Structure formats: structure tokens, C-alpha cells
């Protein structure tokens, strides 16, 4: 998840080194490279702040690093979930004179900040229906774009667009089940509708990636106070399986074709073979939901694959 404090700290360091370089460019060239390193770190820690990207672009321009500018713009488009093909077309020309205009043009069309995005939805500068259709077809496996679009969905829920929120959230979570921010938001959505079973399942998912989250214990306390003993408000195994399988089906739209090795199939059952192949193909999203469903069915052997998929999502 983005860490604004660390991002701001590295951005300030980059700006400081850049100012030192500008005072004496001939003798302070090292300061420019230190500024570049700090600016890279700023984006690494907080890619949601456009100023971090802006500082790095400024430094790249000073270095006349044309290939570095292409890479920065491609990365920015990837974070925003945009097709970067048109950047490839610009490699035939000198991008240095136009890169600043291009940078601000990209951010005007697609801001990193969710609040700015929401302001433009309200002003009808952006079309909400187009956003909905786009979310249904996007590949959200890039953690950064998943979080940015997840925060846009949070704004929709905050302002009463609950139907759109609940429609689109599964598309994001199917591709990045480690987005605990969105699991918590979806849990609170179900809680507001008093659908406590679904809320608990969401908070349960969040705990896998944020073990100190208190929402499940908080809601469990509310349920125990609100309902008489014997009235079941916790999800059954069947409900958990249905919940997991719905998300697993969405991950399949971006899965890699799996080829099963005959030698391996002699040693493992078919489900275990599929899990192993999903992991080998780095398809941790589908493996995560498949192994979690198997665990819910009581197949303890799937736990090791669940942990591998979870680690793959965290590291990926």
C-alpha cells in the first residue's frame, strides 16, 4: 500500500539535492544523481502523488535522459490502467521538448488522486458509464492500478453509489485479492446493509493481508450483542465456497493456459496438479481463491498452496 509519509520524505530529499545541483551545476553533478535516486524512492513509496512523478520527470529532463523519460511515462500509464502503445509510437521522435506537456495531459485525463477524479465525475467532465464499462474489461493485476481504481470505487460508495460499488469491486478483488483496503470497504458496505455474513467474509479476507485489522472482531462483538444465541449470523461453508468461486471465475478471464505434465499427474490429484500449475504460471490470483475454497471444504493439503499464492501476491 502507498506510504505517503515516506513518499513525502524522499520527495523533499530529491528537491533538496536538485536545488543544490542548480546552485552550481558544473561541480554538483553528484547531487543530481542523488536527487534522481530519492525521486525514484518517492514514487516507489507513494505512486498516488503526482508531485513525486513530477520531480523525477524534472530531473530526467535535466539529465536529458530520453529513454528514462519514455520509461517514466510508460510506467505512469500502467499505474493509471492505460494502454501504453501510443508511447511506443513516440520513440521515433525526440520526446524531450514535448514530454512535460504529455505528462500533464495524461494526468489531466486520468488523475492519480481519487478526490480529483471524483470532482471531475461530479462536474461531468468524466463519464461514469464509460468508467463502469472500462472496469469490467480492465486487467487489474498491477497492484498500483488496483489500489488507485479501488480508491475511486471507495469515493463512489461514500457518495451513495452503492450499486456501482458492489458491481465493480469483484473485478478488482478477483485480480488482486491482497488489496485489503478494498476488502474492508466491501465489508463495511455489507455491514451497512446488515448482511453480516458477507461482511464477515470480507473482513476475514482482509485479515489474510492485514493481520492486525480489527473489523472482524468489532463486527463479531456487535453480532453477539445484537442477536440472541442460536440465531446464526456467521457464514456457512457453502456460503464461503460460493463467495470464493464467484471471484475465482472472474480471475479466469485473464488466466494463462495450463499444460499438465503427465509425470506430475501420477503423484498428485487433479486439483493439486492445477494448483501447482497455476503457481508455476504465476497465476496467484486464481490459485488464491481456488486453494481457499479447498480449505473451506476441509482439504487441509491445500493450505501450503494457499500460503504460496498469498506470498506471491504480496511480493508481486
Cell 495524461 locates to 106
Q: Rounded distance, CA 140 to CA 81, Å? A: 8
What integer best gives the mean pLDDT of the chain? 86
pLDDT in tens, 55-98: 999 999 999 999 899 899 989 988 998 766 666 766 777 788 88
Angle at 214 between CA 251 and CA 287, to 5 degrees: 20
pLDDT in tens, 253-262: 554 443 434 4
User: What does the DSSP 8-state code read for residue 48?
Assistant: T
Q: Rounded distance, CA 154 to CA 285, Å? A: 22
pLDDT in tens, 281-298: 888 888 888 888 888 788
Helix axes 162-175, 237-251, angle to 10 degrees: 70
With a pLDDT cut of 90, the percent of the chain lying above it is: 46
Q: Rounded distance, CA 122 to CA 116, Å? A: 10
Q: Is a pLDDT exceeding 70 seen at residue 234?
A: yes
- Containing 122, the helix (H) or strand (E) segment is helix 114-122
Cell 505512486 locates to 47
- Identify whether the C-beta of residue 79 lies closer than 8 Å to the C-beta of residue 145: yes
How many angstroms from the chain centroid is the CA of residue 145? Answer: 5
Model confidence, pTM: 0.78
Q: Rounded distance, CA 256 to CA 260, Å? A: 12
Amino acid at each position: 500500500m502507498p506510504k505517503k509519509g515516506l513518499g513525502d520524505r524522499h520527495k523533499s530529499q530529491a528537491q533538496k539535492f536538485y536545488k543544490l545541483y542548480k546552485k552550481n551545476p558544473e561541480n554538483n553533478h553528484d547531487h543530481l544523481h542523488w536527487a534522481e535516486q530519492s525521486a525514484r524512492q518517492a514514487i516507489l513509496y507513494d505512486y498516488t502523488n503526482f508531485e513525486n512523478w513530477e520531480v523525477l520527470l524534472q530531473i530526467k529532463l535535466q539529465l536529458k535522459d530520453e529513454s528514462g523519460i519514455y520509461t517514466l511515462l510508460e510506467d505512469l500509464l500502467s499505474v493509471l490502467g492505460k494502454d501504453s502503445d501510443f508511447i511506443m509510437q513516440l520513440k521515433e521522435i525526440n520526446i524531450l521538448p514535448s514530454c512535460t506537456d504529455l505528462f500533464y495531459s495524461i494526468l489531466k485525463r486520468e488523475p492519480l488522486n481519487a478526490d480529483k477524479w471524483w470532482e471531475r465525475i461530479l462536474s461531468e467532465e468524466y463519464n461514469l458509464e464509460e468508467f463502469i464499462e472500462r472496469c469490467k474489461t480492465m486487467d487489474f493485476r498491477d497492484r498500483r492500478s488496483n489500489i488507485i481504481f479501488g480508491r475511486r470505487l471507495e469515493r463512489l460508495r461514500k457518495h451513495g453509489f452503492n450499486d456501482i460499488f458492489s458491481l465493480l469491486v469483484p473485478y478488482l478483488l478477483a485480480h488482486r485479492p491482497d488489496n485489503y483496503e478494498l476488502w474492508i470497504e466491501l465489508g463495511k458496505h455489507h455491514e451497512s446493509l446488515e448482511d453480516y455474513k458477507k461482511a464477515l467474509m470480507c473482513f476475514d479476507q482482509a485479515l489474510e493481508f492485514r493481520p492486525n485489522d480489527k473489523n472482524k472482531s468489532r463486527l463479531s462483538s456487535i453480532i453477539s450483542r445484537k442477536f440472541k444465541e442460536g440465531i446464526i449470523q456467521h457464514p456457512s461453508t457453502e456460503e464461503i465456497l460460493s463467495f470464493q468461486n464467484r471471484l475465482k471465475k472472474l480471475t479466469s478471464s485473464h488466466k494463462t493456459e495450463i499444460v499438465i505434465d503427465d509425470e506430475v499427474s501420477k503423484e498428485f490429484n487433479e486439483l493439486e496438479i492445477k494448483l501447482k500449475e497455476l503457481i508455476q504460471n504465476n497465476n496467484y490470483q486464481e490459485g488464491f481463491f481456488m486453494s481457499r475454497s479447498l480449505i473451506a471444504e476441509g482439504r487441509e493439503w491445500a493450505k501450503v498452496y494457499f500460503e504460496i499464492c498469498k506470498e506471491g501476491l504480496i511480493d508481486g
